[in-house]
Chains A and B, each alone.
Chain A
């Protein structure tokens, strides 16, 4: 149904070209520019939890809202 449908598109192939290019750009940008901060920096959940606990327990004067 998809194959036949795409062949008979009335709205225009230009639209689907935009969709494909857009998704490719978004996924590429997301994968290259948006690494998972905690997964990149730490190997285990225990280390990630420790990092977040450190963030949650600073000296009060260090935290800017």
Chain B
């Protein structure tokens, strides 16, 4: 999060700076937006829209990462306000299953992936944020704490409880141990 612009040479053309920022933080932005919407395509699209919006104002934005996340969240919010988008959202996980192919099917049964998606949607955004940062971005607790504005111990507690809650949700869905 911090020093994101300092890592990019300021004498580069704006487009190159945005691309460099996208390379450095695009996945982080996508992951954090994913925690909001639980929709891979929507999160990717929102992240790209946010970076495109940065064009022409990169020098005016003080905290580009925070700005990008806000812009992406607002874009997602607008999309969900649209009835059609809302209706198309893969709330039952079917769209996720359809996209699974290749060796991943041998690693994780599509039914399990569907159930994980459904379970994540039943959890709070804060829990999903913490889980995404830990298990998708591999962030240490201190970095997650800085991003969420809390302490590392609180993050550890939140992740522990979130995992427990997820296990309970999966159990109610019939997912048992040794699923992976």
Asked if A and B bind, the verdict is: no
